Structure 1
């Protein structure tokens, strides 16, 4: 099995899209991460939903979660306003969320190691042809977990099937 065999299409936004539209897509489609492509269709960023939420809430709340309890629900409705006028690139800059990518021949264990190291629930599978990069699809944590625990696969402790 190779990364290209595990790769599936995944919804994406572009760097120029409105941040609020990207947030809506993440919420409405129950996505674990936001896949951001640049103007050339190349992976620009992969941002876990938890990190996007972290960029929405005020810094003082994330630094001291006890303040969230004190605030109650006050200010919750204003969080979306923080996205007003921002592009996806401004909300989720590449320098903070470089996309974890693998080539089509990467083994599942390589994808898993990259996913674990980058704390990303999504890895882009790309093919390079000189300077041109083509997105083949993505491997999600759920898809990879399904592969690893598929019926008929043996654990290191169990004997091979006879």
Structure 2
């Protein structure tokens, strides 16, 4: 099996999208992460869900856990609204890693190796021009691996 056989179309976001929109895209799509694309649909960043969550949590809380205990439950449930005006690109900063991508012809072993190495439950599948054609999720990869295993 190859990436093209297990890839799925996934919603994406752009650097200019609000963080709240990015979280909604991931949640509504039940995605393990997000692919941030440019205007030409080239993957620029592939973010595991934990990194998306990190974008949503204001830096002050991440730096000082004592602050999180000082916020009452009602306000703690809507903490991410504090950054509602921020864009994905603003939260990523200037140093972003190269997106985790594979060609459509990549094997399950290649995909699994990249997922493990980059600790990413989502890999962008690109064509020869580098344009996004789909994504392989950890769930899809594990299902394909389980089905590929010969009965013993």
TM-score, length-scaled by structure 2: 0.83
Residues in 1 aligned to 2:88 and 2:98: alpha-carbon distance in whole angstroms = 14
The aligned residue for residue 145 of structure 2 is: 148
**1:24-79 Cα shifts (integer Å, max 9, x gaps):** 22223322111111011100111112112123324454356465345442642342
Matched-pair contact (CA < 8 Å) for 2:58–2:82: no
Find the residue that maps to 2:132 and give its secondary structure.
strand
TM-score, length-scaled by structure 1: 0.78
Matched-pair contact (CA < 8 Å) for 1:83–1:91: no
Q: How many residues align?
A: 151
Structure 1: which 5+ residue stretches go unaligned? Answer: none
Residues in 2 aligned to 1:31 and 1:72: alpha-carbon distance in whole angstroms = 29
The 1:121–1:64 alpha-carbon spacing in structure 2 relative to 1, beyond 3 Å, is same
The aligned residue for residue 87 of structure 2 is: 87
Bigger Rg over Cα: 1
Higher helix share: 2
CA RMSD of aligned residues (A): 2.4
The aligned residue for residue 120 of structure 1 is: 120
Residues in 2 aligned to 1:66 and 1:93: alpha-carbon distance in whole angstroms = 25
Structure 2: which 5+ residue stretches go unaligned? Answer: none
Matched-pair contact (CA < 8 Å) for 2:40–2:131: no
Alignment of 1:1-162 (within 5 A): 1-59=1-59, 61-63=61-63, 65=65, 68-73=68-73, 75-76=75-76, 77-84=78-85, 86-93=86-93, 95-128=95-128, 132-150=129-147, 153-154=149-150, 158=152
